[in-house]
Amino acid sequence: MIDGFNRTIDYIRLSVTDRCNLRCRYCMPPDGISCLPMREILTYEEIEHLCRIFADLGIRKVKITGGEPFVRKNICHLIRRIKQIPGMSGLMGVLDEKAAGEVWTYEECTAYVDHIHEAGLECEVIASVNVHEDIKLGLPSRDEYIDNYRQTVARLGQAGVKVICYNFMPVFDWTRTDLAKPRFDGATVLAYDQSIIDCITDPQAFADRIQQGAGDFEMAGWEPERMAELKKLFAQYASVSHEDLFRNLQYFLKAVIPVCEQYDVKLAIHPDDPPWDIFGLPRICTNAENVRRILSLVVSPYDGLTLCSGSVSSNPCNDIPAMGREFGAQGRIHFAHVRNIRFTGPGQFEEAAHFSGDGSLDLYEIMKAYHDVGFDGYIRPDHGRMIWDEQGRAGYGLYDRALGAVYLSGLWEALEKGSK
């Protein structure tokens, strides 16, 4: 789908291999992993066929993931073939091969993006460059990690990246209590139940449970190197208040945003998910009031928001269309994650299909808010059900997000034509 500013808004993720030529301690277990036999991995012809089907349905950008995608033989040939599919224009990058705080060099950034550019595709959004815990904690060592972050921003800017999504959640990234809750339609979804969280006295046991539920897939935001330090991190955060976190975020932004301005890269903070404190850890990107405060910490058009409808709306008091209009009109939303959730009780919700009738959110009103303010950022479908017996990283199934992209495309087309 193309919006009024001639930009694409639809994405899918395709894993082309589970193999990797790196042995990073935070990713690869000491004993290695059991790789799938090649007969169980999609052939290039099958991948291209899928891309053609999804392109006909409105998909415009493909995220090539792995493993390490470039260890698969002739991967550049596949990328060139994807480019030849009508409607495909770009890939959205994911920098998750290094631990938070490490520098992505100029050579690594350009190699990552150039492989995509050589096929005639765009790579303008990176999700995400994670923030080291020492920065959030405000430790003396934060300056080293902030300098590393500044270097990575500069290198990505030199490589042509326009938006970097990040979050400032202490310890845990997005949190769920069930990675595969069965639904009435036979699908499984991510789900959250605050009553389960309230009964947990050992966060380490909870983290182990999440990792076990993820199977062979590493959960974004739950990287092994972070989980290995849980006891230490909880002790460090014991004295960190919400005000401390605001101050530490401002310190970080004051150092990084000037580099963003210099290299024309917009920084977009992702809301906390769920948007309230968990396990006694403070969370600050939780509602419109706090977002206003965050965006006032450093007043720059390069300092902005990734407005995620599912994350913010898990608190029913938050009004996503209103936030879209307010912050979109200010030009401070740089990236929009549009998805649906279903409320199942107080402090309880589960992921849903993007179709409004399947959940509790009105996606038409959400998309209309973006359309009404002339939104010129990037939009993507996000999360969803695991359907059609797909096996993959929980919450990031390909098929349901492809359906979501088509649904969002239809909403946008209706808004475009209805406004003429």
The catalytic residue positions are 270, 308, 337, 382-383, 396
Residue 318 CA to residue 167 CA, distance in Å, equals 19
- The dihedrals phi and psi of 335, each to the nearest 5 degrees, come to -155, 135
For 300: left if phi > 0, alpha if psi spans -120 to 50, otherwise beta; the answer is beta
Q: What is the DSSP string of 11-39?
A: EEEEE--S--S---TTTS-TT---PPPGG
Residue 210 CA to residue 226 CA, distance in Å, equals 13
Residue 331 CA neighbour count, 13 Å, CB half: 5
Residue 149 CA to residue 100 CA, distance in Å, equals 9
Q: Are 315 and 348 contacting, i.e. CB atoms less than 8 angstroms apart? A: no
**Helix, strand, coil percentages, rounded to 5, for the chain:** 40, 15, 45
Residue 362 CA neighbour count, 13 Å, CB half: 8
Joined tokens for residue 329:
């009109």
**Angle in degrees, CA 106, 146, 311, rounded to 5:** 95
Joined tokens for residue 381:
């479908």
For the chain, state the CA radius of gyration: 20
Residue 191 CA to residue 395 CA, distance in Å, equals 10
